Amino acid sequence: MSAPATPGIALDAVDTPALLIELDAFERNITRLMASIAGRGVRLRAHAKTHKCAEIARRQLAAGAIGVCCQKVSEAEVMVAGGIPDVLVSNEVVGERKLARLAALARHARLGVCVDDADNVRALSAAARRADVALDVYVEIDVGARRCGVAPGEPALALARSIVESPTLRFAGLQAYQGAAQHVRATAERGAAIERAAEAVRTTRGAIEAAGIACPIVTGGGSGSYLFEIESGAWNEIQCGSYIFMDADYARNEWAAPLPRFEHALFVLATVMSRPTPERAVVDAGLKASSVDSGLPLVWGRTGLTYTRASDEHGVIEVASGARAPALGEKLLLVPGHCDPTVNLYDCYVCVRGGMVEALWPISARGAVY
């Protein structure tokens, strides 16, 4: 399939729908996050599930990230192939075929993985032994997201012991991500949720260290909360991903101190393909161009235009009375409701600066769900 643009053309000549990165805003977001954690004794392991792009991962490392997180082995394969030397699969990996792939990757980079089950620890240990590699293993504890993870405290200690007993596994610490807190709208409520999570981390770490097991890393934290994790003192590694792009749903959060507000840097460029009535415009970007799981896209920089309905290949935009109506063929910028699954729809980013296409970056891990 051909790309929707080539470097050097004007933004207005980009074919649509296209996924754009506004490079100036993107770079400011990276700088802003690094400035906010400087001197805090915490390292950034940027989440690559957001962007699925080795080019972006390399830029995050150049700005100071120590490595990346992935959610899938296939994402980790793309990141390692792209030269990222330190990758944590911040997720459980189950099944012999996947464990063999994970272990094979550890020949080329430092590889970490999470566990929440003793049988899985045994399978991981065996896979590492067969591949003759060592793996960093983090015990995932459920700090309020009610997804994966063992309960804090004793259950986590029991898993840590089983990891320490394996000659091929290194107990690296705790995975503690409060995903459910990221989109709680009020900043103070997000802070309170992270403080509850911090208590669970402290209890667990205390139990593990009291058993004579070192717990070097506590990793977690997202773009919506990470400075609360840092202020608690319970984490020494954060896993922010969405900060590079922001999306419409994150923007609905209250952004107050201590958290900086990041800028929208990811857009879907769409064309008005039908103007059937004065109050209705239809764009060529629907469900296959912008994921709607966290809400419809927003029309950017145009008052009175509201994206109200998405079907597979269409977006219906209502034109408020008195608003400047878009003409047939006009291009509009949309802010996706949720950046991660939207990125996963496209094969490349069209990177724009000052109204010109500067580069195309392949989304090499698009569709990497295995």
For residue 17, whether the previous peptide bond is cis, meaning omega lies within 30 degrees of 0, is yes
Q: How far is the CB of 251 from a copy of itself (least distance, A)?
A: 18
Q: At which residue do the structure tokens 């960093």 appear? A: 136
Binding segment for a copy of itself (CB under 8 A), chosen from 202-210, 216-224, 352-360, 361-369, is 361-369
Nearer Cβ to a copy of itself, position 168 or 271? 271
What binding mask, one character per residue, do residues 114-133 give for a copy of itself by CB under 8 A, x or -? --xx-xx-------------
Report which DSSP code applies to 104: H
Contacts for 243 with CB less than 8 Å, ≥ 6 apart? 29, 30, 32, 33, 223, 262
> Does 98 participate in binding a copy of itself (rule CB under 8 A)?
yes
> Does 93 participate in binding a copy of itself (rule CB under 8 A)?
yes
> Does 12 participate in binding a copy of itself (rule CB under 8 A)?
no
Binding segment for a copy of itself (CB under 8 A), chosen from 1-9, 190-198, 223-231, 349-357, is 1-9
Q: How far is the CB of 209 from a copy of itself (least distance, A)?
A: 23
Binding segment for a copy of itself (CB under 8 A), chosen from 10-18, 129-137, 186-194, 249-257, is 10-18
> Does 209 participate in binding a copy of itself (rule CB under 8 A)?
no
Please list every residue from 167 through 196 that binds a copy of itself, using CB under 8 A: 179
3-state secondary structure of 361: strand
Separation of alpha carbons 191 and 197, rounded Å = 10
In terms of DSSP H, where are the helices of the chain?
23-37, 54-62, 73-81, 96-105, 118-131, 154-165, 187-210, 226-232, 248-251, 339-343
What binding mask, one character per residue, do residues 287-326 give for a copy of itself by CB under 8 A, x or -? xxx-xxx----------------xxxxx-x----------
Q: How far is CA 26 from CA 21, 22, 51, 170, 244, in A?
A: 7, 6, 12, 35, 6
Contacts for 330 with CB less than 8 Å, ≥ 6 apart? 271, 272
Tell me the pairing of strands 135-140 and 169-175.
parallel
Binding site residues, a copy of itself, CB under 8 A: 1-2, 4, 15-18, 49, 71-72, 74, 78, 91-95, 97-98, 116-117, 119-120, 142, 146-150, 179, 271-276, 280, 282, 284-285, 287-289, 291-293, 310-314, 316, 328-329, 338, 340-341, 344-347, 366-370
